[in-house]
């Protein structure tokens, strides 16, 4: 019980990507926090760009390619999730949402999540709280209070109290939840029948 | 082991010519396709049920009865019968009627239907889909196995001493398969009744269906109908053939690219790798489907989807020649190799009549004791 796994999903489109860079910094800060408490942390990075075609195919056909299936399993079976998207036209990117759309709606229930976003200007920072947070709330994930937004200006700022401070605070919040998580060691039964299910129905047995 | 074809009854534009068959042309084509299936030595023809365009098959028993009158050995089935939106009383009546007219060459496959707007047209709600499938089938099963039925359920008006007519032929109901893509509830239901389980197998990777069929087999044994390997399993499949495999690929690609459901998505190459769709020479189809038993265990019925996505009738008939003359005879031999004696064949009317004769009649026992 001293090892945890965190999935780090980033939806940046360019290479190199500031979205991926932010995801890495958040992941490293979270890992650092947990390691300080003697907890080993495995990080699984997912760049949605790499599976963009598979995501689209899944939307059209209803099934995931073997490669995408492996990614979905890695994300939904993690102890925690760091999700970072660029903000496009007032919200998370369409590709990011497409990936979330193909997840089973119950598969993130109880998942500790840290949300982050990147954008050209800090004017879009509230998109994290009015768009991304409700998305994960709907999925019954547990989103930590601090969301991390990085605008272009943050990357050039030498004011250590801003971006680095927000990352560190959010990482601490996520680490506290991941520490208590046993999601990655849970055994899931894909054939679990709903409670009270009867193969003849409520009335048919009479 | 039975081999056959199943159709979803879509009316689709041929993407290579832009021609769309009329409903009348497509309905007549289906009859021609079914007769051709018998002619080339296939065992089963299964027809879908839909109540919305671009599909024509709203009234499967009418079509199947018409086909029954023009065939002699072909087993007639459905793919699927909507157990959710149809009144189970009407299913009991319609298919018993068909069973008599077809001299017992009838079975059914139950399905839920996944098109939300269709449900309210029949006074139902798609959110009750599983519950409807469970309750409606419970009633249907009783209507076919008991003479007079008292019934009270959530989804239809109660029945008092109701007898559905005609009674099933020789007192034996048509065999029932349950089709499902992802619901363990339906696999559980099929196992509970000792009915067949059909995995459509055409849209998803086989690993998914392997898990679902494994679950059904295990539950079939749990409910005491036999061992897991004796459970009654059917599989869908899909193929397009030409003498040379490259010709098959180039002929089928435009249909694949525009096909309903998977068109404009994965490439033909990815889709054939990830699902059982096989596009190539007859030998490639043989190799792919002869291996299915390695994944799913010995099974009872293999159906192929051959007539969708706007393929013209002439092409479909050519495909049936390949299937009936080159593929299925070899598959029959391959599937028979090392098949345990204890694994049953797909149930037929004759086998079910014979099985019923062996059963002790509880009514007689009562009469003696009273």
pLDDT tens readout for residues A61-102:
888 999 999 999 999 999 999 999 999 999 999 999 999 999
* Whole-Å CA distances, B59 to B9, B90, B169, B332: 11, 12, 21, 32
Q: Give yes or no for A203 touching B (CB within 8 A).
A: yes
Q: Is the ipTM of this complex over 0.90?
A: no
What residue ranges do the domains of chain B occupy?
2-369
Measured between alpha carbons, how far is B298 from A53 in angstroms, rounded to an integer? 36
Return the higher-pLDDT residue of A137 and B369. A137
Work out the minimum CA distance from A92 to partner chain B, whole angstroms.
23
Nearest to A204 among B139, B150, B274 (CB): B139
CB contacts of B238 in chain A (<8 Å) are none
Angle at alpha carbon of residue B141, lines to B71 and B147, rounded to 5°: 95
Assigned CATH class of B2-369? alpha beta
For B6-39, b/e burial (b = at least 16 CB within 10 A) is bbbbbbbebbeeeeebeeeebbebbeebbebbbe
Task: State the pLDDT at residue B360.
Answer: 59
Task: State the pLDDT at residue B350.
Answer: 97
Fold entry, domain A3-185 = Rossmann fold (3.40.50)
Contact predicate B205/B274, CB 8 Å: yes
Measured between alpha carbons, how far is A76 from A111 in angstroms, rounded to an integer? 8
Grade residue A205 by pLDDT with cuts at 50, 70 and 90: very low
Q: Among A85-89, B139-143, B261-265, which stretch is predicted with the lowest mean pLDDT? A: B261-265
Residue A203 to residue B203, Cβ atoms within 8 A: no
Task: State the pLDDT at residue B114.
Answer: 87
Picking from B33, B44, B197, B3, the residue whose alpha carbon sits closest to that of residue B109 is B197
What residue ranges do the domains of chain A occupy?
3-185
Grade residue A42 by pLDDT with cuts at 50, 70 and 90: very high
Which residues sit opposite B280 in a β-bridge? B241
Write the CB contacts of A96 (distance below 8 Å, at least 6 apart in sequence). Answer: A9, A11, A48, A83, A85, A86
Residue A62 to residue B204, Cβ atoms within 8 A: yes
Residue that has been written with the tokens 């800090």 in this structure: A122
The answer on pLDDT for B275 being more than 50 is: yes
Q: What is the DSSP pairing of strand B75-78 with strand B278-280?
A: unpaired
Picking from B221, B223, B212, B222, the residue whose alpha carbon sits closest to that of residue B186 is B212
Angle at which helices B129-145 and B184-193 cross, to 10°: 10
Residue A204 to residue B274, Cβ atoms within 8 A: no
- B7 token code pair: 């159709």
Residue that has been written with the tokens 């409670």 in this structure: A195
CB contacts of B134 in chain A (<8 Å) are 198-201, 204
For B91-110, b/e burial (b = at least 16 CB within 10 A) is bbbbbbbbbbbbebbbbbbb
pTM of the full structure: 0.91
From the number of C-beta atoms within 10 Å of its C-beta (0-12, 13-18, 19+), residue A89 rates as exposed
Q: Give yes or no for B224 touching A (CB within 8 A).
A: no
H-run or E-run covering B35: helix B23-39
- What is the interface size between A and B, counted as CB pairs within 8 Å? 79
Residue A65 to residue B139, Cβ atoms within 8 A: no
CB contacts of A200 in chain B (<8 Å) are 134, 138, 192
């Amino acid at each position: 019980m001293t090892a945890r796994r965190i999935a780090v999903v980033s939806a940046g489109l360019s290479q190199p990507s500031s979205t991926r860079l932010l995801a890495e910094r958040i992941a490293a800060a979270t890992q650092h926090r947990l390691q300080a408490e003697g907890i080993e942390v495995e990080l699984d990075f997912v760049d949605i760009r790499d599976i963009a075609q598979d995501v689209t195919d899944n939307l059209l056909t209803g099934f995931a390619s073997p490669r995408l299936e492996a990614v979905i399993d890695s994300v939904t079976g993690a102890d925690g999730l760091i999700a970072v998207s660029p903000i496009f036209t007032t919200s998370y990117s369409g590709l990011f949402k497409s990936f979330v759309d193909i997840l089973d709606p119950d598969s993130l229930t109880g998942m500790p999540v840290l949300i982050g976003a990147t954008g050209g200007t800090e004017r879009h920072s509230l998109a994290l709280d009015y768009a991304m947070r409700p998305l994960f709330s709907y999925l019954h994930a547990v989103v930590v209070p601090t969301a991390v937004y990085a605008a272009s200006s943050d990357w050039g700022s030498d004011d250590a109290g801003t971006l680095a401070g927000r990352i560190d605070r959010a990482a601490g919040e996520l680490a506290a939840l991941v520490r208590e998580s046993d999601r990655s060691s849970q055994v899931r039964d894909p054939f679990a029948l709903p409670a009270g299910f009867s193969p003849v129905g409520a009335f048919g047995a009479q | 082991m039975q081999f056959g074809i199943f159709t979803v009854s879509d009316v689709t534009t041929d993407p290579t010519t832009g021609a769309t068959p009329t409903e009348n042309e497509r309905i007549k084509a289906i009859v021609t396709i079914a007769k051709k299936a018998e002619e080339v030595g296939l065992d089963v023809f299964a027809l879908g049920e839909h109540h919305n365009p671009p599909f024509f098959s709203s009234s499967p028993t009418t079509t199947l009865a018409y086909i029954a009158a023009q065939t002699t050995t072909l087993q007639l089935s459905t793919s699927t019968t909507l157990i959710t939106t149809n009144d189970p009383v009407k299913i009991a009546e319609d298919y018993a009627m068909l069973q008599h007219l077809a001299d017992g060459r009838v079975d059914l496959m139950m399905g839920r239907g996944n098109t939300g707007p269709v449900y309210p047209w029949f006074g139902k709600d798609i959110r009750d889909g599983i519950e409807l499938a469970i309750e409606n089938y419970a009633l249907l099963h009783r209507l076919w196995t008991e003479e007079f039925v008292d019934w009270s359920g959530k989804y239809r008006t109660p029945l008092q001493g109701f007898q559905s007519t005609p009674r099933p032929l020789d007192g034996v109901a048509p065999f029932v398969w349950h089709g499902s893509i992802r619901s363990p509830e339906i696999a559980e239901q099929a196992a509970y009744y000792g009915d067949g389980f059909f995995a459509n197998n055409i849209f998803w990777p086989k690993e998914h269906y392997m898990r679902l069929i494994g679950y059904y087999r295990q539950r079939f044994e749990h409910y005491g109908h036999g061992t897991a390997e004796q459970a009654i399993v059917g599989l869908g499949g899909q193929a397009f053939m030409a003498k040379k495999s490259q010709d098959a690929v180039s002929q089928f690609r435009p249909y694949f690219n525009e096909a309903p459901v998977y068109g404009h998505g994965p490439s033909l190459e990815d889709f054939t790798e990830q699902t059982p769709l096989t596009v190539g020479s007859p030998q490639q189809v043989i190799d792919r489907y002869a291996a299915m038993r390695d994944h799913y265990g010995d099974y009872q019925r293999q159906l192929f989807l051959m007539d969708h996505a706007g393929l013209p009738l002439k092409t479909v008939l050519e495909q049936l020649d390949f299937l009936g003359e080159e593929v299925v005879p070899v598959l029959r031999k391959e599937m028979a190799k090392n098949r345990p004696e204890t694994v049953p064949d797909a149930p037929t009317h004759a086998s079910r009549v014979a099985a019923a004769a062996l059963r002790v009649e509880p009514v007689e026992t009562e009469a003696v004791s009273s």
